Amino acid sequence: MSFRLPVTRSLPLLLAGILLAGGVHATEAEHIRASQAWLRVLPGDLPAGAYVTLENTGDQPASLRGAESTNYASVMLHQSSTEGGMGRMNAVDRLVVPAHGKASLAPGGYHLMLMKAASAVKPGDKVKLALVFGDGSKLDVDFLARPANATDIGAGAEHAH
């Protein structure tokens, strides 16, 4: 079954009304603010770890599912933990950022593992990652490259996206 709408000058108004009545929703990424984004560069071909604080300004939780980068062959979401004195790192499929709350990717906890750099990344470089959320939306964030012994973004480098 098919039907046709008459094409009139009021069609744009009709369509606008349908969109407004349908409750156009913002994507998960539109409610996320990223700050303190940095990555730890390790020597040689070792993977880098990326860290960031995510703040959700929306009324619904958001799920970080991973990230993409043209600078790295793959990016995976991991969680580090210590159990019985042994350090472990496991791949996870999501990190929930609560409504009106924050979630942190930080050394010793959740982080993004960046594998196989396309070219050398040096401390001081900025690397763009597209954070990918549960609804498929993306948030581009610049991560500041820091040396292997870094434990945070460093003084004077705080910036939000």
Mean pLDDT, rounded, for 40-57: 95
Q: How many residues does the chain have?
A: 161
The pTM of the whole model exceeds 0.85: no
- Residues 100-145: tens digit of each pLDDT: 999 999 999 999 999 999 999 999 999 999 999 999 999 999 999 9
Domain-wise residue ranges, the chain = 27-146
Query: What top-level class would CATH report for the domain 27-146?
Result: mainly beta
The count of C-alpha atoms lying within 13 angstroms of the C-alpha of 26, restricted to the half-sphere facing its C-beta, is: 13
Q: Is the pLDDT of residue 17 over 70?
A: no
- Residues 49-59: tens digit of each pLDDT: 999 999 999 99
> How far is 125 from 144, CA to CA, in rounded Å?
6
